[in-house]
Structure 1
């Protein structure tokens, strides 16, 4: 269970995992919410991105690293089995998802999602 506070426009402006110290949550402007509510997720993503200036480039870098790993394997610099089992599983999962999306036509000519 989490607690959120909204501004006058009803937008989430604060999130807390801990109960807020006041006798009446509503009197303090706080309400109970689920962590999977879209407004809560959006607020938490906004905070995470502003707290870490590298966040916006992280997804692009993941794709670069995947391509680099594939290149190293293709050139026999490393073997897929040289990677830790957890890394192998993640790469296989992403490859499977990428192939499924490609079959559905969700990629452009560069391999990026449209």
Structure 2
């Protein structure tokens, strides 16, 4: 999710990726968010920050897709190259330490 901070005129002045004081949740599809990113003085920096965050989230999505494919017998875990298997197993071990097992949270589901 993306959270925004507004100035006294109600315009977006900052974006964050976690809730906090004086922040409100905004849809990633909101045209005002796109407008803010395009016209901000540090637009390129903001674009890179957003892309980096989305890339991290996509890694979790891909891991979940791999799990689904394995659960549905569409692929075997051993079909993956050894280095990939090792990374996935290590990440699952570390992630289980924090009990954070899936990227998909109810409020993040997109309805089409």
Give the TM-score, by structure 2 length: 0.45
Higher relative contact order (CA 8 A, sep 6+): 2
Report the TM-score, using the length of structure 1 for normalisation: 0.45
Higher helix proportion (structure 1 or 2): 2
